Amino acid sequence: MPLDETRKYQTIEVAPVTPVIGAEVSGIDLGAPLSDLARDEIEAALNEHLVLFFRDQDITAQQHVAFGKRFGEVPLAPGASFGIHPDAPEVSVLEYDEARPPNVNHYHSDGIFRAVPEFASVLRAIVAPASGGDTIFVNCIAAYEALSDRMKRLLEGLTAVNNFMHLHGRPSKARSWEGEGRARMEKARDANPPVEHPVIRTHPATGKKSIYVSESFTTHIVGLSEGESRAVLNHLFDHLKTPEFQTRFRWWKNSVAFWDNRCTLHYALADYWPQHRVMNRISIRRGEKPV
Ligand SMILES: [Fe+2]
């Protein structure tokens, strides 16, 4: 079939799921080697839609990793709160069932507690519940742009402290610390002391500003009193939950989501217990510090 010169993308079909965030991408096999053009078009679509959804990607864990490596460095799975894939040490295995109730139902950006957070994550469904277990994604650029000019000026130049233990010290995460998990969690805790990141972050590719705080990990804003910090953060956390900034993805087996952690939050619904859900996840890093 001849390529249509008027089409925005030549190697992929991109169908937005909302005007604000998310697009379904079709016409591509993520298990096959990506041409440079396909890689660049996927990145362009990611910059435009912030999270991309792919269906029916029956790929191996190694192919999942190879796809991620076209976009940056794929580090070894941390192996703290999630398992590690036996065939690919870069792949985290997120598995929930009757004995392990889902506990990632909180708004966060992967890696916000690291000094150098990951740029993106690629998650694939291995076992999806019959219904439930959707993931919500939030466009933090749209959330920033909807703030009043006075609030934008207040936040400009402020930094906030993000702490791994703010989430992982909670009772909902007690399971991670049981038995052999304790040593892995202590290692993760020691490797991730609290870090300061800008409250408003600029996207390195698009130059767009976004709100960069997470209810799960952000403890306080530096330079404000405790009460001021709590009030401002609570407002931002509420604001980021506005449905108009969100999309919600229904997983099927072999569905893939590829999202930009620099300007989105996500929330994995825990509504499917006691059903079984297994996901494979990789992180992609580019050595970018939030600015
Ligand atoms: Fe996550």
Cα–Cα dist 192/217, whole Å: 12
Would you say residue 289 lies in a domain?
A: no
Active site residue 266: yes
**Domain membership flag for residue 2:** no
The pLDDT score that the predictor gives to residue 1 is 47
pTM score, whole prediction: 0.94
Number of domains in the chain: 1
Query: Does 6 map to a domain?
Result: no
Q: Is the pLDDT of residue 185 over 90?
A: no
Q: Is 85 a catalytic residue?
A: no
What's the CA gap between 210 and 194, in Å, rounded? 21
| pLDDT tier for residue 276 given thresholds of 50, 70 and 90 | very high
Q: Would residue 130 count as lying in a domain?
A: yes
57 domain residue, yes or no: yes
Is 197 tagged catalytic? Answer: no
The Cβ of residue 181 has, within 10 Å, a number of other Cβ atoms equal to 16
Domain containing 280: what range? Answer: 13-284
* Residue pointed to by tokens 């109730």: 101
The string of DSSP letters for 212-228 reads ---TTTEEEETTS-HHH
Interval 225-267: pLDDT, tens: 999 999 999 999 999 999 999 999 999 999 999 999 999 999 9
pLDDT of residue 5: 54
In a domain? residue 192: yes
Give me ligand 1 centre to Cα 284, in Å: 13
Can you give the CATH number for the domain in which 62 is found?
3.60.130.10
93 alpha carbon – ligand 1 mean position (Å): 12
- pLDDT in the model for residue 171: 85
CA 289–ligand 1 middle distance (angstroms): 19
110 catalytic? Reply is yes
Alpha helices, H only, 146-192: 149-155, 164-168, 181-191
Let me know if residue 108 belongs to a domain. yes
What separation in Å is there between the alpha carbon of 78 and the centre of ligand 1?
13
- pLDDT at 12 exceeding the cut of 80: yes
Tell how far the Cα of 229 is from the centroid of ligand 1, in angstroms. 24
Residue 6 has what pLDDT? 60
Residue 290 lies in a domain: no
d(CA 271, CA 133): 6
